[in-house]
Amino acid sequence: MECGPSAANSLDDLFGSNPASGPSLPPTQIEHVYVAGTFTATLTVTDAAGESAFDTAQLTVFPAPTVALGGGYATSPSSAMIYGTANPNGGDTTYAVRYGTTPSLGSSTSLVDIGSGTKPVAINLTLVGLAPHTPYYWCINASNASGDASSSLGAFTTGGGAPMLQSVGYTILGATSVQLSGTINPRQVDTVWYFEWGTGTNYGSSIPMVPSDLGSGTGAVQVSICLGQLVPHTTYHFALVGVNAVGVVTSIDHVIKM
């Protein structure tokens, strides 16, 4: 029917918010909030003369997604695997993993679309670029047109550690030279090494001048280097140093009497 300037409209239903109504000029829009489910809504329009017309439509309203926390564990000093499930509950849904080094999180992965099904969808996602030997918190957040849902907080600690110095020694090669040696375990984090040396415990010199890269293995690696042009009948001190992103470790002082 045609609505004049003083027409009124209303939208009625047995579920959701209270019926919506009000005066309007055509065209117009009214809003009504429904709970999740399938409903038959009736739109009624009444003109100034009291004549009414109505129309009905069947509506299906889907709920917000539901999320279940699975688990999370470090796969390396800089990465972790996160898993869980998210159920779109009929509405097109995206999810992301939020994570950080405190419970307030702060970082997020890119959104992933998991469609509009009605069954839980498995989530398996790898976090990369993490700091070694560090505790992390995380949760799964899913969203569709009906709302957001977040899992409870999970936690894991990335692997790795500061270098482990397992032995340090030396071998005198001649009147003016020695071979310095030791073993270092990088503990899964890329590690460099060098020896500090000098005639006192303040050292003052290092060899090699550019620290040598030991890699990021999980076992002890032997290192050695020749130190020459020393002065006979002189006492020298040295220490082995290992450095990675977790920390710096220096051996005890060792004494060489030439």
- Which tens digit of pLDDT belongs to each residue from 87-144? 999 999 999 999 999 999 999 999 999 999 999 999 999 999 999 999 999 999 999 9
**pLDDT at res. 198:** 96
Q: Are 90 and 116 in contact (CB under 8 A)?
A: yes
Query: What is the b/e burial string over 182-198, where b = at least 16 CB atoms within 10 angstroms of the residue's CB?
Result: bbbbbbbbbbbbbbbbe
Confidence of residue 8 (pLDDT cuts 50, 70, 90): very low
Output the pLDDT for position 120: 94
CATH superfamily of 66-157: Immunoglobulins (2.60.40.10)
pLDDT value of residue 208: 94
Choose among 165, 174, 149, 181: nearest CA to 241.
Answer: 165
**Does position 242 have pLDDT exceeding 50, yes or no?**
yes
Checking if the pLDDT of 38 tops 90, the result is: no
Lowest mean pLDDT among 9-13, 106-110, 220-224, 246-250: 9-13
Instruction: Please give the Cα distance from 226 to 239 (Å, whole number).
Output: 14
Provide the pLDDT for residue 209: 85
CA 89 to chain centre: 26
More confident residue, 170 or 209: 170
**Residue 2 — pLDDT band, cuts 50, 70, 90?**
very low
- CA dist 184 and 6 (Å) reads 88
- Looking at the DSSP assignment, which residues form a beta bridge with residue 53? 45
CATH no. of 164-257? 2.60.40.10
Least confident of 49-63, 137-151, 187-201: 49-63
d(CA 235, CA 254): 10
pLDDT surpassing 60 at residue 81 = yes
Average pLDDT of every residue of the chain: 85
Q: Please say if the pLDDT value at position 25 is more than 60.
A: no
